[in-house]
Amino acid sequence: MANHTVGVFPAAGGIGGSTVKHLLSRLPPSNLVFIARGPEKLKSLPVADAVLRRADYDDDESLQHAFDGVDTLFLISYPSVEHEHRSERHRFAIDLAIRSGVKYIFYGSLGYGGSPDNNESVAHVMQAHLDTERYLDKCAREHMGFGYTVIREGLYSESYPLYTAFFDPKHPVNDIKIPHDGSGPGIAWVKREELGEGTAELLGRFVKDRARFKYKNKKLLLSGSKTLTLGETVAILGKIASHPVHILPVTVDEFAKQPQVGPNFTYHGVDHSKVWATTFEAFRRGEAAFVSPLLGELLGREPEDFETTISRSLE
């Protein structure tokens, strides 16, 4: 453990930042490398003894030596809902990491597909993750001594606007217009901060006892401990907003035409609103309803429920 270096990239976003926070209390800061487009955002944390590096997924030159000296890397996905561009950026980063000597990658995937053993999803947003999961498996077969763990991070409670046509409890509307009727199967919502904490615990356990780590070259899921249907989720949002709100099922075209939707799903000049709507079909198929006890075991407590997380976030 003394000479084992752990890197996180990108380290300053939501999952990255919370993972960094909890890694600092589990591993020696001098053995940590935090790589981000804006590493100065981490200065509020006790990172004085850690290495901070500047790199950007979309800047090839900045990535060339970003992973030098790192033994184990937590690679967080490119922040968009695109497919091909995300997949290509992930492959590029993985190739450079292996070239730099990284021997193990934890990859932050997404909690669609149901059971973590499943390799399929109808959700467009999951396709780049599935590509990357397959690529990591290919790399493990082709590069002796290289291994990986895929962490399918459950759907963040804080990401509910993506699934409710960007409902805002501080400025509530009467109807949430989505291509879904609100019925089950549900979503095993999970607090983003706790995903970072659980991920840090996994990394810490791996570093401290790699020989006994049971998730080598496997996929796992970190989820909440219970599911809520979209209808139940919206009822909680209405309660928090003190405003009656209901789901109004609409077509995919009607969903995509809402003025608040398109701009939030536009990446590199392309509106992905319609393909994003495949998430609602994934919900109907139960892809986000799989409950895993692993996060609770890693935290040593019950994961926080959706209502508590959202209520506290609005205080």
What is the pLDDT, as a whole number, of residue 289?
A: 97
Work out the average pLDDT over 31-60.
Answer: 93
CATH code matching the domain that covers 158-186+225-290+305-314, chosen among 3.30.450, 3.20.20, 3.90.920, 3.90.25: 3.90.25
Please count the residues of the chain.
315
Q: Which residues contact 214 (CB under 8 A, 6 or more apart)?
A: none
pLDDT in tens, 90-99: 999 999 999 9
Place of tokens 């989820």: 223
Nearest to 124 by CA among 177, 91, 86, 159: 86
Work out the average pLDDT over 53-66.
Answer: 97
For residue 1, pLDDT over 60 is answered with no
User: 6-156+190-222 and 158-186+225-290+305-314 share one CATH topology?
Assistant: no
pLDDT in tens, 225-247: 999 999 999 999 999 999 999 99
Report helix, strand and coil shares of the chain as percent, to nearest 5: 40, 15, 40
What is the pLDDT, as a whole number, of residue 263?
A: 94
What is the pLDDT, as a whole number, of residue 46?
A: 87
pLDDT band at 2; cut points 50, 70, 90: low
Beta bridge mates, 74? 8, 106
pLDDT band at 300; cut points 50, 70, 90: very high
The 8-class DSSP code of residue 262 comes to G
Nearest to 76 by CA among 206, 261, 260, 203: 203
User: Chain-wide mean pLDDT for the chain?
Assistant: 96
Report d(CA 105, CA 137) in Å as an integer.
11
Report d(CA 279, CA 123) in Å as an integer.
5
Considering the entire predicted model, what is its pTM?
0.95
pLDDT in tens, 77-87: 999 999 999 99
Domain extent listing, the chain: 6-156+190-222, 158-186+225-290+305-314
CATH code matching the domain that covers 6-156+190-222, chosen among 3.40.50.720, 3.30.365.10, 3.30.70.890, 1.10.3720.10: 3.40.50.720
Say what percent of the chain tops pLDDT 90.
Answer: 93
What is the pLDDT, as a whole number, of residue 3?
A: 84
pLDDT in tens, 106-165: 999 999 999 999 999 999 999 999 999 999 999 999 999 999 999 999 999 999 999 999
What is the pLDDT, as a whole number, of residue 315?
A: 83
What is the pLDDT, as a whole number, of residue 43?
A: 85
